[in-house]
Amino acid sequence: MERFQVNATKREDFGKKGAKVVRSEGSVPCTIYGKGETVHFSLNVKEIKTLIYTPNAYIVEINIEGQMEYGVMREVQYHPVKEEILHIDFFHVVEGKPVTIDIPVRLDGNPEGVKMGGKLSLSKRKIRVSATIENLPDELVIDVTDLNLGKSIFVGDLSYENITILTPATTAVCAVRMTRAARGAAAAAAADQK
């Protein structure tokens, strides 16, 4: 899995007042937890925009004034009106210990249903999985070559080695939908056969 490096500043002042001061300096208050202790720090907003506004998943290497912490982004809180980042939670990753993370989905192949006039639609861009960091992929590749018109691929249809999928099995990932043109062609073909 890809890694993303950031430099952070240790935070001593907690609570709303402390967070307000951090934000006024152009930084975001953050915490990393999961190894017994919670570490509080702040990150520069400009430095983390690439991490937040991307479809990719990363293991984040956080350099907190010389102390290295490794984690995955767990939750980002935004201001309800201004869309600015208010707080970020990270979760520690330890080699050999499973971690839960949302991995992006990539569809591979040209579906049969698309060749017949259908349209491929992706309804689940990320799937939540649990695996050790050594086994975490950058993306989950789904072969859609055999997908026909009106058919879907569900999370329950997927399986990957050394990865436990946590997203509910009934969640649809992608489907080939019938377009108006395909419906018209199907109706014309049916009329010709009569």
Contacting residues for 67 by C-beta, under 8 A, at least 6 apart: none
Phi-psi region of 123 (alpha: psi -120 to 50; beta: other; left: phi over 0): alpha
- CATH classification of the domain holding 186: 2.170.120.20
Q: Which of 94, 129, 149 is at the close of a domain?
A: 94
What's the domain range around 119? 99-193
Domain count, the chain: 2
23/87 same-domain check: yes
Same domain assignment for residues 48 and 109 = no
Please say which residue of 49, 75, 94 terminates a domain: 94
* Domain stops at, among 52, 67, 94: 94
194 residues of the chain, pLDDT tens digit each: 888 999 999 988 777 888 888 888 889 999 998 888 889 999 998 888 888 888 888 999 999 998 999 999 888 999 888 888 899 999 998 888 898 899 999 999 999 989 888 899 999 999 999 999 889 899 999 999 999 988 999 999 999 999 999 999 999 999 999 877 666 666 666 677 66
Q: Are residues 11 and 76 in the same domain?
A: yes
pTM exceeds 0.85: no
Specify the CATH number for the domain of residue 51: 2.40.240.10
Residues 143 and 106: beta-carbon distance below 8 Å: no
